[in-house]
Amino acid sequence: MMSTYKRATLDEEELVDSMEGEVYPNGIQVNFRGSGTSKSCWAERTHVEKRLLVLTVTLSAGFLACICVLLFQFRTRLCLTESCISVTSSILSSLDRSVDPCEDFFSYACGGWIKANPIPDGHSRWGTFNKLWEHNQAILKHLLENTTAQVSSEAERKVQRYYQSCMNETKIEELQATPLVDRIKKLGGWNISGPWQEDDFNQTLLQLAAQHHIWPFFSIYVSADSKNSSVNIIQVDQAGLMLPSRDYYLNKTQNEKVLAGYLTYMVQLGMLVGGQDEAETRRQMEEILDFETTLANITIPQEKRRDEELIYHKMPARELRNLSPAVDWMPLLNAVFSPVEINETEPVVVYAKEYLEQVSYLILNTDRRILHNYMIWHLVRKGAGFLDQRFQDAEEKFMEVMYGSKKTCLPRWKYCISDTDINLGFALGAMFVKASFAEDSKAVAEEMIKEIKMAFEESLATLPWMDEETRRSAKEKADAIYDMIGYPKFIMDPKELDKVFKDYDAVPDLYYENVMQFLNFSARVAAEQLRKPPNRDQWSMTPPTVNAYYSPTKNEIVFPAGILQPPFYTRSSPKALNFGGIGVVVGHELTHAFDDQGREYDKDGNLRPWWKNSSVEAFKQQTECMVEQYGNYTVHGEAINGKHTLGENIADNGGLKAAYRAYQNWLRKNGEEETLPTLGLTNYQLFFVGFAQVWCSVRTPESSHEGLVTDSHSPSRFRVIGTISNSPEFSEHFRCPRGSPMNPQRKCEVWAARGEHSRRECPQPSSTPKRRPVTLGLAERSAMAGRGPQPSPQSTTPFHPL
């Protein structure tokens, strides 16, 4: 009490200019000193008057403080609409406020979400993308199963029949392995399941490629010519591995469990299609696995293939014979692209010249029985997903080992929807768009793209390391970027949609045959595109997909309807959240046009040198910083491959910067927006929280490992903290001390404007050697795990999904 009272008397001394000494009843004496005038005035006052005066001054100060608080609250208005209350609740439940945002922003933004979202059964990973895909799946299930509803095209009826055949488990169980066994017999049999005819190697390879679209040694496909993007061309690349990455075969110690599980799975499938003796089946499957391992050894790691200028080799088809003499190329090409006739002068782009030379040597020096067994194994593995429950059970056990997925496979209807979307997704997309896509979302997305493109170009204008000539060309490229939103136009015209699918049909009770017929139909469509200009209406993602991508040969960014929903975009949410969500997605895809691969393509989508050498060297110096930064991050002791993930890391960082700048511009034009209640966050802080919560996710250790060795994206945690720790704006708004984990002394930024860049340094290379392991899409689908058709071979041209 004594010390408290003394502090009170000191406050009085500050409030009253001069006072004389007084002795209070408790015996405490305070001496007041001042000028003579003040002294006499104060001295004339009674003890009570003096106390009242002090009380009056104190109350006045409190009243003024209340007014200031009210004025502040009026200036920062709260949004109390039902939508704002709802989104506030969602954000609060995802936060973990026990974590300091300057120490670990991912755990701060997503800790609550992670605690409330254990990985569901049948999944190896779970995140906001998965939850949104499940929402889309529920819509699609209703559309596909409501056969009494009126559909607007025959293509949509074909989609329903295809889905019905997938769901017809009674017929699938009745047929068992017969559809696959019949095809094996037509290919001369399989030494594992019975006698085989020693057919010509090239004839078996031709049949597999032309009739089953299986590529055991390399892939052949049609795509835009990277150096002449106005025309489609035949392209050849390395292929053949059945596990997701060469690392699984070569790093045997780390992947011993997966390799053992894979061999067990191979034996199980061998027995299911006719193997008589398990020991003998295992012996021959071990031979196949050994051959795959040899193939993995000659496969070039993806991080060594990022510079397309170095791996692009254009040649007439006849030169393939000299490059890889083990393959009879001209009959193969003519069978694959029938009815289009291919002659020896047909231009072909080869992306794996060294690999094709080595695979030819491997084929010529391997026993024909092993080669045949290996090729038929590809047919068995690809077809197993379309057969009875025994095959599904074997697949499930392998997925538990491979990805750590828990307990049970996904419900049949979810698998069938994913499979239908993969194969007939544009006809299915027409149904999805009509049922659930708000057309005004398209206008909002277009405006967002315009704002973020403008913000990116503003940064480009003052980039300190780029020369003026390259800067002008870069701006031209940014201006020329074409955006596609929601869906390709043709799917909303029933006549056009029916025209696309007129040569394909499906029946409700023959699932395996429907899949095979679709693969043949798809191959014919691809062959028809040869020598023609690429069509912008041909998307690489279906409308329900929860993702986005950039295509360098078309210089276009694509945002399917599936992603233009919460949490990425909500019409009634604060702009801070929308810029932090779909805005960063837009900025990410836009930045891909200028990442380490995208920058090699000009505004017309052609692969050519259009940067001056000085800017190329400066760019590489900037990116080395990011390679080093992300290479220092580890998951369960395993390092991220900074080289393999470089393009996505550049896009993450550039996307956040462009979206933040665009939000600043919006505020300048429109003024401050209302804040959300309860959170205690400014709208700038909300922007960063919105960005981070898009990436809330959990994975099994096995799935995390798979991501590190296959995915060109960094793990979600590091997509957040890697980007945040490079953002001075983040540290400013969260007041992070310099040197704290989220505000390191050294920062990496490739697209930092002048004035910002001077404050940042790149990390210097560490003297400690780093582990560089060779390093999936975001919405997990059952087909990715092997159940169902695998995607057709994609162009080596860098394709950039989110």
* Residues 350 and 260 reside in one and the same domain: yes
Quick one: pLDDT at residue 410?
76
Per-residue pLDDT at 45: 65
Total count of domains within the chain: 3
Average pLDDT over residues 262-270: 98
Q: How confident is the model at residue 783 (pLDDT cuts 50, 70, 90)?
A: very low
DSSP 802: -
Tell me what the mean pLDDT of segment 456-464 comes to.
91
Q: Is residue 172 assigned to a domain?
A: no
* Average pLDDT rounded to a whole number, residues 404-429: 90
CATH code assigned at 680? 3.40.390.10
Burial class of residue 456, CB neighbours in 10 A (0-12, 13-18, 19+): buried
Report the percent of the chain where pLDDT is more than 90: 77
pLDDT at 759 over 90: no
In contact, 656 and 727? CB cutoff 8 Å? yes
- 333 is a domain residue: yes
Q: What would the mean pLDDT of 552-571 be, rounded to a whole number?
A: 93
Mean pLDDT of 75-99: 89
pLDDT of residue 13: 36
Residues 472 and 346 in one domain: no
Give the pLDDT of residue 63. 67
Q: Stretch 189-201: mean pLDDT, rounded?
A: 87
Residue 166 lies in a domain: no
Predicted local distance difference test score (pLDDT) of residue 768? 27
Q: Which residues contact 546 (CB under 8 A, 6 or more apart)?
A: 129, 132, 133, 136, 560, 562, 563, 778, 779
Tokens of 531: 């020598």
Strand partners, 639: 634
Tokens of 453: 């493109």
| In-domain check, residue 422 | no
- At residue 81, the pLDDT reads 87
Is residue 780 predicted with pLDDT exceeding 90? no
- The confidence score (pLDDT) of residue 439 equals 81
- At 269 the three-state DSSP class reads helix
Is residue 346 very low, low, confident or very high in pLDDT (cuts 50, 70, 90)?
Answer: very high
Residue 801 pLDDT level (bands cut at 50, 70, 90): confident
In 3-state terms, what secondary structure has residue 127?
strand
* pLDDT band for position 409 (cuts 50, 70, 90): low
DSSP letters spanning 652-703? HHHHHHHHHHHHHHHHHHH-PPPBPSSS---HHHHHHHHHHHTT-EEE-HHH
Domain span at 367: 203-387
Predicted pLDDT of residue 442: 87
Under the banding of pLDDT at 50, 70 and 90, the label for residue 50 is: low
Please, how many CA atoms are within 13 Å of residue 636, restricted to the half-sphere of its CB? Answer: 12
CA dist 229 and 237 (Å) reads 18
Is residue 227 located within the same domain as residue 296? yes
What are the distances in angstroms from CA 665 to CA 127, 670, 672, 756? 31, 9, 11, 17
**Residue % of the chain over a pLDDT of 70:** 85
Helix (H) or strand (E) holding 125: strand 125-127
The answer as to whether 271 is a domain residue is yes
Please check whether residue 686 lies inside any domain of the structure: yes
The verdict on 470 and 351 lying in the same domain is no
List the CATH number of the domain containing 245. Answer: 1.10.1380.10
How far is C-alpha 408 from the geometric centre of its chain's CA atoms? 25
Q: What does the block give as tokens for 55?
A: 């009380």
Do 289 and 216 reside in the same domain of the chain?
A: yes
Closest among 330, 318, 312, 298 to 218, alpha carbons compared: 298
Q: Which two tokens stand for residue 345?
A: 């002068």
User: For 628, phi and psi rounded to 5 degrees?
Assistant: -65, -45
Q: Which two tokens stand for residue 64?
A: 């003024």
pLDDT digits (tens, 9 = 90+) for 668-711: 999 999 999 999 999 999 999 999 999 999 999 999 999 999 99
Please state, as a whole number, how many other Cβ atoms lie within 10 Å of the Cβ of residue 137. 20
Length of the chain, in residues: 802
Q: How far apart are the first and last CA of the chain?
A: 63
Peptide bond into 25 cis (omega under 30): no
CA count, 13 A, side-chain hemisphere, 153: 24
d(C-alpha 522, C-alpha 507), whole Å: 17
**Pair 576, 673 in one domain:** yes
Token match 């193939």: residue?
Answer: 295
Cα separation, 656 vs 658, whole angstroms: 6
Q: Are residues 313 and 382 in the same domain?
A: yes
Decide if 500 is inside a domain: no
Residue whose token pair is 């028809």: 528
Two tokens, residue 364:
């010529």
Claim to verify: residue 459 and residue 356 sit in the same structural domain = no
Exposure string for 536-555, b = 16+ CB within 10 A, e = fewer = eeebbbbbbbbbbbbbbbbb
pLDDT at 792 (0 to 100): 37
Cis peptide before 567 (omega within 30 of 0): yes
Of the two residues 33 and 235, the one the predictor is more confident about is 235
User: In what helix (H) or strand (E) does residue 230 lie, and over which residues does it extend?
Assistant: strand 228-238
Which of 75, 99, 125 marks a domain boundary? 75
> Which whole number is the average pLDDT over 475-495?
96
Q: Which residues contact 595 (CB under 8 A, 6 or more apart)?
A: 646, 647, 648, 650, 651, 654, 800
Please indicate, yes or no, whether residues 272 and 380 belong to a single structural domain of this protein.
Answer: yes
Q: What is the pLDDT of residues 718-758, one digit of tens each?
A: 999 999 999 999 999 999 999 999 999 999 988 866 544 33
Asked if residues 724 and 105 have their Cβ atoms less than 8 Å apart, the reply is yes
CB 158 within 8 A of CB 151: no
769-789: average pLDDT = 30
Q: Of 387, 413, 437, which residue is a domain's last?
A: 387
Assess whether 575 and 715 both reside in one domain. yes
Instruction: Tell whether 143 is covered by a domain.
Output: no
Same domain, 349 and 473: no
Pick from 24, 81, 75, 20: nearest CA to 48: 24
The CA angle 280-286-287, to the nearest 5 degrees, is 95
What per-residue confidence (pLDDT) applies to 266?
98
Q: What is the mean pLDDT of residues 189-196?
A: 89
In Å, how far are 95, 353, 419 from 115, measured between CA atoms? 10, 49, 31
Calpha distance 92→118 (Å, rounded): 18
Residue after which a domain boundary falls, among 45, 75, 105: 75
Q: Is residue 338 helix, strand or coil?
A: coil
Q: How does residue 196 score in pLDDT terms, banded at 50, 70 and 90?
A: confident
**Could you tell me if 534 and 229 are in contact, meaning their C-beta atoms sit under 8 angstroms apart?**
yes
Asked whether residue 618 falls in the same domain as residue 731, the answer is yes
pLDDT of residue 54 exceeding 80, the answer is no
Buried b (16+ CB within 10 A) or exposed e, 487-510: bbebbbeeeebbebbeebebebeb
Closest to 602 (Cα-Cα) out of 474, 457, 453, 751: 474
Mean pLDDT of 245-259: 95
Confidence label for 122 from pLDDT (cuts 50, 70 and 90): confident
Separation in Å, CA 51 to CA 11, 56, 180: 13, 9, 99
Q: Count CB neighbours of 253 within 10 A.
A: 5
How far is residue 187's CA from residue 185's CA, in Å, rounded to a whole number?
5
Per DSSP, helices labelled H in 485-612 are 494-500, 511-529, 575-578, 584-592
Q: Is the pLDDT of residue 127 over 50?
A: yes
Q: How confident is the model at residue 797 (pLDDT cuts 50, 70, 90)?
A: low
pLDDT(548) > 50: yes
Active site residues: 589, 652
Gap between the Cα atoms of 533 and 74, Å rounded? 58
Looking at every residue in the chain, the average pLDDT score rounds to: 87
Q: What is the pLDDT of residue 79?
A: 87
pLDDT classification of 25: cutoffs 50, 70, 90: very low
